[in-house]
Structure 1
Amino acid sequence: MTRARIGVAVLTMGSRPAELRALLDSVDAQDHPATRIVVVSNGAPLPGLPEHVTGVELPENLGVSGGRNVAMERLRAFGDVDVLVDLDDDGLLVGTDVFSRLAALYGEDPGLGIVSFRIADETGFTQRRHVPRIGNTDPLRGGPVTTFLGGGHALSMRMLERIGGWPDDFFFTHEETDLAWRALDDGWRILYAPELVLQHPRTEPTRHGVYYRMTARNRVWLAKRNLPALLVPLYLGSWTALTLARTRSAPGLRAWFAGFAEGVRTPCGRRRPMRWSTVWLMARLGRPPVV
């Protein structure tokens, strides 16, 4: 791939038309034009879109995972996209060279699967939870990582052909980690590139009413789907301890444990435990799959 063809996917609930239009304007301003742009309206009427943008209106909300899979399949059907870029509908590309930089990165490294953007607010501040590593929290230090940020990232279409798309049943939370673990286990690299910036309002995930339940349920599904049996209790035990230490909301904790129980008793899709060599790779990158 010498000059990657970029396809852009945006999910919307139809409630941010001004922000969506500003995002699409920032996409159009790129010095390496996107080959395709798809906007999926998740269970809401499509807002007005420019003529060159493909709109898909879903009759029901399929969540982040389901909506992104619809966008991915639409881009795949066009047959002229090498790299899929997912962007939040209230984000903004502040530079005009994001896609040209991406094209260069993928052209230089055929084993590059995922590129994670840096998420920053309008002041340039990056929240700690938006740095895809533990330990070193410097948001400006790029390099290989074990996961990526959902608000702004790029995915190799060749990689998606091999490992599949997003886990539909997750709806939202931890879908990025599931995809990242499968990518690493298939031999693809994940790069955090802080020079690629998506401006995004500062938010907290707890703004979503079902955050605690979904977080716990999907954490269990993530472990059941992807981890060697020996690591499942270690991973879930460490996250239970962290949740108890961090959560100050009694209703939140009740919802979290209800979601945990739901994850234990319900199916999670096909189980494909990662290789121990992948576990060792993740440990070398600073995030073994027990944290």
Structure 2
Amino acid sequence: MSLPNGFVVTLDRYTRVVDDGRALLGGFPTRLLRLTPRARPLVTGRTVKVRDAASALLADRLLDAGMANPVVASLPPCPDPSYTVVVPVRDRAPQLDRLLGGIGRVSPVIVVDDASHHPEDVAAVAEKHGARLIPLPVNLGPAGARNAGLRQVTTPYVVFADSDVTPTPDTVATLLRHFADPRVAMAVPRITGLPTAAPTWISRYEEVRSSLDLGSHPAAVRPGTPVSWASTACVVARVEALKEGFDERMRVGEDVDLCWRLIENGWRVRYEPGVEVAHEHRARLGDWFLRKAVYGTGATPLAGRHPEFIAPAVFAPWNAALVVALLAQRRWSLPVAGAAMGVATLDIARKLDRTEHPHRLALRLTANGAVGALSQTSALLTRHWWPLAALGCLASGRVRRATAVAALTDIALEYRRDEATLDPIRYGIARRLDDLAYGAGVWVSAVRGRSTKALRPRVVGRRPKADNGRIRP
């Protein structure tokens, strides 16, 4: 199966054109892709349009490497765009009414009542909108409810939509365009906050820092990348790719598990922020904090299923040396950190020796790697390892300094990046509570599962090595 004619991709924002168009540098992990004389004219500006087998092969390789993304507005229409909407719900009749009213009656809708306390209210809303109702006698959770609806789907595509989301009229039509790529199994929109008449400070924080909002840039959903997972609060999926569907043993993290299983099986999952779906975020502090903690409890079950994907941080050896040196806070810390960066730069430059400016490119990659390593370390101290960091603060001044710098720097950088409407003080409090809740959930799941897999960083086993043009900085 190949990409159809008319399929257009554009280079990702992290992909650089080097050597006057003779090579591309980017992807996850970073690699150098040299273009043959035949392939160079296929890249026009920063786009590739599929016109023949050669351009289809190049576009496909760029997508596989994470070096390019489809231009959704230019994609050919989906060959068979028929779909069925599956809505899992437990009570929440007003939200269900709002959702079904927005969806309309263009396609079949299946409402799965997951053992509501007031099933008559859900039934009345489903009947009002002409939706088929499947009542479950016992509560199965989101995974089981979605699977119950999936088993009744006869169309090529299925739309899973939670009752507390509100899609726009063009959400499904736009996401379906991604299925012109025969390897796409799922396409997900950007999840934003549903506007409220009286927003709380927590809801205002969620508007810019929601766990479900994956940002404003299109991306392939893959572990180890900026978009490593995607929520199924609203998603369009290819039915043939889902097979057994969600893992019904998981009450949380089932969407992450499904994404990763699809990717392991060779499918693609696309994140498309060009369409947005409004989600009714939790606005009360207690509900919000508890939900963040619940998200964290999915870590250990995911670690058992995908141990290679769940590490809270991944370091190359030189990154690990850099971090350890800086955390030591000794006189030798800066020289050792500088030496680690110097060795890494020379090693990467050696792999780029056929480019025009290998040392300049290598220095940029090393600097980006150092920033990423420090960011991951900050997250370890303030999020995943905060109980250990708290104990360390009681006994060590170095731990106190490192934790304070990590916490305050994180707030300052993220507040500026998010352009939050919330004042810095309450934003900072919410940011730290967010991390405390999630980290607590991770530790609870680790204790319950008697496993520390979800808490252990991973260090790449050997030094950066070129592999068919692939560079791991």
Q: TM-score when scaled to structure 1?
A: 0.71
Q: Which amino acid aligns with 2:221?
A: V
Percentage identity across aligned positions?
19
How is 1:50-69 mapped onto 2 (pairs within 5 angstroms)? Answer: 50=127, 52-69=130-147
Give me the whole-angstrom Cα distance separating, in 1, the residues matched to 2:273 and 2:437. 36
The structural deviation recorded for 1:52 is 3.1
Q: Which amino acid aligns with 1:109?
A: D
- From 144, 148, 155, give the equivalent of 2:230: 148
Contact 1:3 / 1:103 at 8 angstroms: preserved in 2?
no
Q: The residue matched to 1:184 in structure 2 has which SS?
A: helix
- Deviation per CA, 1:29-82: give whole Å up to 9, x if none: 7xxx32x2111111111431136311111122211111111111122xxx2x11
- Deviation per CA, 1:204-252: give whole Å up to 9, x if none: 7972786577545431121111234xx7777699887533335589898
Contact 2:295 / 2:441 at 8 angstroms: preserved in 1?
no
How many residue pairs align between the two structures? 243
Give me the whole-angstrom Cα distance separating, in 1, the residues matched to 2:231 and 2:440. 27
Q: Which amino acid aligns with 1:260?
A: A
Root mean square deviation, CA, Å: 3.3
The structural deviation recorded for 1:183 is 0.8
Pair 1:258–1:8, CA change in 2 (3 A): same
Contact 2:88 / 2:112 at 8 angstroms: preserved in 1?
yes
Q: Which amino acid aligns with 2:301?
A: W
Q: The residue matched to 1:198 in structure 2 has which SS?
A: strand
How is 1:1-291 mapped onto 2 (pairs within 5 angstroms)? Answer: 2-14=79-91, 16-28=92-104, 33-34=106-107, 36-44=108-116, 45=119, 46-48=122-124, 49-50=126-127, 52-75=130-153, 79=154, 81-94=155-168, 96-106=169-179, 108-123=180-195, 125=207, 127-132=209-214, 139-146=215-222, 147-161=229-243, 164-172=244-252, 174-203=253-282, 207=287, 211=291, 214-228=294-308, 242-245=383-386, 256-264=442-450
Give me the whole-angstrom Cα distance separating, in 2, the residues matched to 1:169 and 1:211. 19
Q: Which amino acid aligns with 2:79?
A: T
Specify which structure has the bigger relative contact order, considering alpha-carbon pairs within 8 angstroms and separated by 6 or more residues.
1
Contact 1:223 / 1:235 at 8 angstroms: preserved in 2?
no
Q: TM-score when scaled to structure 2?
A: 0.45
The structural deviation recorded for 1:20 is 1.0
Give me the whole-angstrom Cα distance separating, in 2, the residues matched to 1:152 and 1:169. 21
Q: The residue matched to 2:211 in structure 1 has which SS?
A: helix
The structural deviation recorded for 1:202 is 2.7
Greater helix share, structure number: 2
**Structure 2 unaligned spans of 5+:** 1-77, 197-206, 223-228, 315-375, 387-431, 452-473
The structural deviation recorded for 1:191 is 1.0
The structural deviation recorded for 1:264 is 3.1
Q: Which has the larger radius of gyration?
A: 2
Contact 1:117 / 1:149 at 8 angstroms: preserved in 2?
no
**Structure 1 unaligned spans of 5+:** 133-138, 266-291
- Deviation per CA, 1:161-214: give whole Å up to 9, x if none: 2xx311111112x11111111111111111111122211223279727865775
Pair 1:199–1:208, CA change in 2 (3 A): closer
Q: The residue matched to 1:103 in structure 2 has which SS?
A: helix
